[in-house]
Structure 1
Amino acid sequence: MPRFLSSIGATERWLILVIACICIGLSLATDTFFTLVNAFDLLNSSAVNVIFAAGLLVVLVAGGIDISFAVGASVVQYLAVIALMKLGGGNWAIGLILAAFFGFCLGAVNATLIYHFRIISIVVTIATFNLFFGLLMFFTGGVSIYLLPDWMTRRVILFEHETPAGWAEITLPVLVMAVVVLATWFLMRKLSLGRQIFAMGDNVEGARRLGINIGAMHYLAYGWLGACAGIAGLMQAHYAQEVVPNALYGRELEVLAAVVLGGARLGGGRGTLLGAILGLALVAITQNGLNLLGVSPYAFRMIVGFIILVAISMSGETLGFLTERMRRSRRADDVASGGAE
C-alpha cells in the first residue's frame, strides 16, 4: 500500500475509493464532468461548504451538534455589510474581522445556553436556528441587499486558464477556504487546546478531572464554528454578489451529512479534517453529477437525508445517548460543586 494511503484512516480510504469510482462513472456518462472548467467551478462553489465543515468538525469532536450555523452565516452577512457601509465601505481585512467577530458572538450564544443552562446541544441549536432566522426575516422583511461595497463586488481571480470549454478560474473563496482549513488543522492537531477538545468530546467527566476548563472548551468550539460561519457568509455574499436572507437556508444538513460521512462521530471524540473534506467532496460531486445528468434536485435531498439516517444509525450516538451524556455531566458538576463547599 502506498505510504500516503497507509497514513490515513479506513474511512478516508473508502471515501477516496468511492469518489474515484463515481468520478469514473460520471466521466463516462457525461462529456462535461471531467473538464477543468467543471472541476474549478465545483471547487469555487464548494468553498463555502468546506469552511462550514471545518468549523462544524470542531463542534462534533467536542461532543456537540450545531444546526444553526448556516442561518447564523446569513445573519452575519447582513450585520457585516451594514456595518461596513456605515464604516465607509472598509476592505477585505475589516470585512473578514467583522464577519468572524459577529459569527463568534452568535456561536457564544449557543455555548452559553448549552453549558450554563445544561440544555442538549441539538435542542439549543434547533431553537437558535429558528430564533436567528426569525429575527433576520423580521428586521429585514426578507429584502435582499444588492448595494455592496465596491471591493466585495470585484471578482478576485487567483488563477485562470483558457480551455476549449471556456475559462477555468480559481477565485478568492478557495484561498480563504484553504486558510480556514489550515487554521482548523493547526488548532486541532498542533495545539493543546485541540487535544483538550478531543478529550472533552471523548469523556467530559474524565476531561474535567484532568483540569480541563469545560466551559472554555464549549466557547472555543461553538465560537470557532460561529467565526467560520461568519467568514463563509461573507464569501457567499462575494460569490453571489448579493445578500439574500435565505440563500444559505438548508446548507446545515448537507454539511452535517458530509462531515459525519467523513468519520466524525456524533457524540464526540473522533473526526478528521481530511475525512470531513472527503465527505463533502463526495456529496458535492454527487450533486454536480446529478445536475449534469439532468436528474431532479429532489433526488439529491433524498440522498442527503439517507446519509444522515445511516450515519446516526451506525454511530449509536442517538438523542438518548446525548441525553444520558448530559445527565452524567450534570451529576459530575453537582458532585464537584458539593466537594468545593
Structure 2
Amino acid sequence: MRDYLRNHEGEARIFIVLVVLALFLGFASPSFFSAGNIASLLNNNAVNVIWAVGLLVVLITGGIDISFAVGASVVQYLTALALLALGGGNWLLGVLFAGAFGVAIGCINATLIAGFRIISIVVTIATFNALFGLLMFTTSGKSIYNLPDWWTDRVAVLSLGDGGALTLPVAAMVAAMAATWFLISRTTIGRQLYAFGDNPEGARRAGVATVRMQFIAYSWMGMMAGIGGLMQVNVAQEVVPNALIGRELDVLAAVVLGGARLGGGRGSVLGCFLGVLLVAVVQNGLNLLGVSPYAFKMVIGLTILAAISLTNVGLVARLAGGSRRRGHAKTH
C-alpha cells in the first residue's frame, strides 16, 4: 500500500484536495451531495473526461493539442450529415463515423507536426482557427435539430435514486478511460509513448519510431474528440457549430491538475479523471454558492499558469542536474 501511494503521490494529493473541497461544499450547500447534483456533475462532465484521456496521450508524448474542441464540432456536423444521408443510422454507425472523422483530423495535426517539424501548439492553434473558420463558413452558423431519435434519447445506465440517474455519456466515459488505460499501461506502444515524451532523442536512439508515436497520439486524441462530440449531442440534443469552443482550456487545466506534465513523459488516466472532477466540483460549488462564473475562469487561468511555471522549474532543475553530472564526470 505504501509503495502504491508513493508511485501515485500526485493522484493521492489531488484526491485529498477533492475530498476536503467536497466536504466544505457539502456543509456550505445542502444540495451538493444530493443524488440529482452528483448525477448532473458526472453526466455534464463525462465528455470532458473523454477529451481529457485523449489529451493525456498527447501530453505524455510532450505535445499539446488545443484544437480538439473545434475538431469535435466538425465531427458532430459531418457525422450528422452522414447519418441523415443514410436515413438515420444507429449507435454503431455513429461511433464508427465519429471515430473515423476524428482520427482523420488527428492525422492532419500529426502530419503537420511530424512532417514539417512545427511545434505542436503552433500547429493546433492554426488548425483550431482553420477548422473553426471552415465550419462556420460552410454552415453559416446554422444548427442541426432534426436528428435521429436514437442519438437524442436519454438512456439511463444507472439510477442513483431521488431522481438522479447516470446516462449514456457516463458509460462512454468509462469505456474511454478503460481503453486509454490499457493503451498506455498494458501495451508496448504505451511504454514507447512515455519514453518518447520523457526523452525524444533517447527514444529515437533506442529504436522507437518517433513519427509513429506522434501519429498514434494525435489520432487517439482525434478519436476521443469525435466520440466526445457524439456524446455531447446526446446531452444537448442538437448540433451547434460553435457550442464547444472554449472548453479546451478547462480540459487542459484538468489534465495538468491531474498530474500530466506539459514537458511529456508523465500522466495517468486516474489523475485525468480526478483533475476533471476537481475542476467540475469547483465550478459546481461556485454556482451553488452564487459566485460569479468569471471567478471560475480566473481559477482555470491561474491553474494553467501554475502548471506551466512548475513544468519549467522542473525542466530547469533536470537540465542543471544533467550539467552537474557531466561536469563531475569530466573531472574524473
TM-score scaled by length of structure 1: 0.90
Partner of 1:149: 148
How much does 1:275 deviate? 1.1
**Structure 2 CA distance for aligned equivalents of residues 273 and 160 of structure 1:** 25
Please state whether the residue corresponding to 1:252 is helix, strand or coil.
Answer: helix
| Aligned partner (choices 210, 217, 220) of residue 221 of structure 1 | 217
| Aligned partner (choices 245, 251, 263) of residue 249 of structure 1 | 245
Alignment of 1:14-33 (within 5 A): 14-33=13-32
| Aligned partner (choices 255, 267, 272) of residue 276 of structure 1 | 272
| Aligned partner (choices 195, 199, 211) of residue 199 of structure 1 | 195
Partner of 2:83: 84
How much does 1:8 deviate? 4.9
Partner of 2:113: 114
How much does 1:223 deviate? 0.3
How much does 1:213 deviate? 1.1
How much does 1:190 deviate? 0.4
- What letter matches 1:123 in structure 2? V
Partner of 1:57: 56
For the 8 Å contact 2:47–2:232, the answer to whether it is kept is yes
**Structure 1 segments of 4+ aligned residues over 3 angstroms from their partners:** 2-5
- What letter matches 2:15 in structure 1? I
1:187–1:8 distance in 2 versus 1, CA, 3 Å: same
**Structure 1 CA distance for aligned equivalents of residues 191 and 245 of structure 2:** 32
For the 8 Å contact 1:266–1:317, the answer to whether it is kept is no
How much does 1:9 deviate? 1.6
Report Cα offsets for 1:80-112 as digits up to 9, x if no partner: 010001111110011001001000000100000
How much does 1:5 deviate? 6.3
**Structure 2 CA distance for aligned equivalents of residues 240 and 23 of structure 1:** 27
**Structure 2 CA distance for aligned equivalents of residues 63 and 241 of structure 1:** 36
How much does 1:200 deviate? 0.7
| Aligned partner (choices 268, 291, 294) of residue 290 of structure 2 | 294
Please state whether the residue corresponding to 2:157 is helix, strand or coil.
Answer: strand
Partner of 1:172: 168
Partner of 2:256: 260
Give the aligned length.
317
1:317–1:269 distance in 2 versus 1, CA, 3 Å: farther
Partner of 2:131: 132
Q: Percent identity?
A: 58
For the 8 Å contact 2:39–2:160, the answer to whether it is kept is no
Please state whether the residue corresponding to 1:277 is helix, strand or coil.
Answer: helix
| Aligned partner (choices 225, 228, 234) of residue 232 of structure 1 | 228
- What letter matches 2:61 in structure 1? A
Partner of 2:205: 209
**RMSD (Å) for aligned C-alpha atoms:** 1.7
For the 8 Å contact 1:89–1:149, the answer to whether it is kept is yes
**Structure 2 CA distance for aligned equivalents of residues 216 and 292 of structure 1:** 46
How much does 1:258 deviate? 0.7
**Structure 1 CA distance for aligned equivalents of residues 124 and 211 of structure 2:** 17
1:85–1:7 distance in 2 versus 1, CA, 3 Å: farther
Q: Please say which of residues 264-273 and 219-228 is displaced more in the overlay.
A: 264-273
Please state whether the residue corresponding to 1:316 is helix, strand or coil.
Answer: helix
1:283–1:5 distance in 2 versus 1, CA, 3 Å: farther
Partner of 1:47: 46
Report Cα offsets for 1:3-62 as digits up to 9, x if no partner: 696265221111111111111110111111011111111011110000000000000001
Please state whether the residue corresponding to 2:166 is helix, strand or coil.
Answer: strand
Q: Answer yes or no: is 1:312 the counterpart of 2:303.
A: no
**Structure 2 CA distance for aligned equivalents of residues 128 and 97 of structure 1:** 23
**Structure 1 CA distance for aligned equivalents of residues 4 and 194 of structure 2:** 24
For the 8 Å contact 2:35–2:164, the answer to whether it is kept is yes
**Structure 1 CA distance for aligned equivalents of residues 273 and 15 of structure 2:** 11
How much does 1:174 deviate? 0.5
How much does 1:294 deviate? 1.1
For the 8 Å contact 1:107–1:222, the answer to whether it is kept is yes
Partner of 1:71: 70
Please state whether the residue corresponding to 1:129 is helix, strand or coil.
Answer: helix
**Structure 2 CA distance for aligned equivalents of residues 78 and 30 of structure 1:** 39
Unaligned runs of 5+ in 1: 322-341
TM-score scaled by length of structure 2: 0.92
- What letter matches 2:21 in structure 1? I
Unaligned runs of 5+ in 2: 317-332
